[in-house]
Amino acid sequence: MPPKLTSLPRLSCCPNTRINRLARRILSQCLKYRRYYLGPNMCHLGHCRDVCIGLAIPPFDSVGLGSSTSNAVFIIINKSNDGFIDLVKKPSFYARSHSSDPRDHRQTFLASSSLSSSPSSPSSASSGAMRVVAAAATEAEDERVARRFWNKCRRESAVAMYTPFVVCLASGTLEMEAFRNYLAQDVHFLTAFAQAYELAEECADDDDAKVVICELRKAVVLELKMHDSFMKEWGFDPEAETTSNSATKKYIDFLLATASGKVEGGKAPVKIATPFEKTKVAAYTLGAMTPCMRLYAFLGKELQALVEPDDISHPFRRWIDNYSSDDFEASQKTEDLLDKLSVSLTGEELGVIEKLYQQAMKLEIEFFSAQPITQKTVVPLSRMHDHAQKLFIFSDFDLTCTVHDSSAILAEVAILIAQKVSHDNDNNLPSKRSSVDLRMIWDSLSKQYAEEYEQCLQSALPSVKEEEFNYNGLCEALVLVSDFEKRANARVVESGVLKGISLEDIKRAGEHLKLQDGCLGFFQNIVNNEKLGANVHLLSYCWCGDLIRSSFSSGGLDTVNVHANELNYEDSISTGTIVNMMESPRDKFQAFEEILKKKNDGSSLSVYIGDSVGDILCLLQADIGIVIGSSLSLRRLASHFGVSFVPLFSGLVKRQKEFAASDGTTWKAPSGVLYTVSTWAEIHAFILGFENH
């Protein structure tokens, strides 16, 4: 066993002394607090003008059978970033080598990365190194922990944006007493926020990190002064005594406990004894604080986009301008610092930070949701709609609920069955055609569909784009689309591509069908909300209703009403023919109207969620039509007939203004207006709000 390294060699491959210091610092942490061993020298894998690349091997095992190379650390230090360590990560080649000698790892790496070159061809070595570095830099960018955690919390950010407090604030109709109460609660929170920064600064062992944290703490002090000026501007007494509500207190307790080393999600409180453990607590604290800064910057930008530049009448313009301004850079600084402090942490420790980040986001939503709002609001829909009205939730299935189109799924099932027949040479199985034949047939059908669909849409467009909504003209154009869809279905039946699929295989495919993120949870909450009493219906062109029913049943949604085409079966084996019940936009619209007429003996409120041209009539007829995704064909056709697409959040802000100016609570969207969202999280937040998330 080699001796434990007590001093680090100079990294002569990199001329930048600052980089050497940073490299030595992180490697020293590995040596001192993780007991990493190096050989007589750090294994230098390669370098070029801007980088040096090295390898550190973890401790040898207790019985001397070799080091645990699966946990080796791959280090890239980028000179052009003034010493910032871009990546500390183990590459995949470790899995292919079991040698305990770093030089053997070097050979494996050289063989797999093209870093190796003969002395006579230095340029190839440099280009090989740069390819590796470029790939590593891309991976490092994707692996930034702050960005990754924020992306995972997109649902929570949507929920925060759709809270009654934020919608009323954005519309300018928020009652002043509600805003005063918010400011008072935020003062309690920001005071604790500054205290948490102070604790984090004490734990940070890097001088640069200490400077950044100090600047962030000073920014919070300025923010508190801004709140004080808000209070005075609107005639509030900043000295008035207020107590923190339960949501604020819960958030403060969480924040200060984390900054003190009592980490939720950890196995035990962190013992702040060594410099590395202090750095870890600082990273945990930033993980709990970053969501607040990131969310406020996000909300500021979203709200600022809805305020006219010359509108000085908006009562909360200063608040919005502050958090949307380029000067509000604390969010980016906090994220950069979190990335820096996390660079030397283990996967388990990063998992703790992620839990802290997610917990902080939930506490942010609770903070906004806890603000007392007594005025009438448009969100959440489940709370504001008259329960004497029947609520109908309609949705398309393909690419609205699913990630992949169901027609392609069914074709793939048929092809896999044909492969099984060929492999097993089982003449008792119904399919006699090869998988290659079926693949060619399906590819030909798909290509023909795509080409003719584009031609059909082009033929359906008016010669001159309509300035105002022309419903009758749109209906006439959709006749061409309906005829096209029926011809396409007839070709599928004629091809026999769906023949021989068993009902069991279809149900199994449905159980594993990938749904859009948040879709299943939305419908589960809708169906399980007995007080809401919503009627849920899926309207789909899908050739097989059994596929849809199986998909939703696997999520415990057996009561969802499915309206789709069906396959014909003989002894539970598809004959390849389709019972056509829903082939066109007109078929969907007729089913939509019949359901409302049949189920409704009084007033109702209908919401339709769709993504394509086939949904357009239902979307326009519903009280609230929501387009999910960005179908170019839908927008292209609809906009030519005067249909307007409005982001749902901005539509809600506008509707909130209208609600504040009148006593009406009707939710019928203006004629020819459809609302747009990018995720199911927005739909969930709008209809159900935070309590059911």
**Which residues are catalytically annotated?**
292, 364
How many Cα atoms are found within 13 Å in the side-chain-facing hemisphere of 57?
31
DSSP state of 52: E
Beta bridge partners, 51, equal 78
- Contacts of 532-535 spanning 24+ positions with Cβ under 8 A: 532/382, 532/391, 533/387, 533/390, 533/391, 534/391, 534/392, 534/393, 535/390, 535/391, 535/392, 535/393, 535/561, 535/595, 535/599
Centroid of chain to Cα 513: 19
Q: Residue 306: what residue type?
A: L
**Burial class for 292, CB neighbours closer than 10 Å (0-12, 13-18, 19+):** buried
Neighbouring CB atoms inside 10 A of 344's CB total 21
Please confirm whether the linkage preceding 372 is cis (ω < 30° from 0): no
CA distances to 457, 462, 470, 578, 583 from 482, in Å? 11, 17, 19, 17, 7
Neighbouring CB atoms inside 10 A of 428's CB total 6
Angle at Cα 184 formed by Cα 179 and Cα 189, nearest 5°?
120
What is the distance between the alpha carbons of residues 518 and 330, in angstroms, rounded to a whole number? 31
> Quick one: how many helices (H) and strands (E) in the chain?
25, 13
Helices (H), ranges, 347-434: 347-369, 381-384, 406-424
Question: What letters, b where the CB count within 10 A reaches 16 and e where it falls short, cover 250-281?
Answer: ebbebbbebbbbbbeebeeebebeebbbbbbb
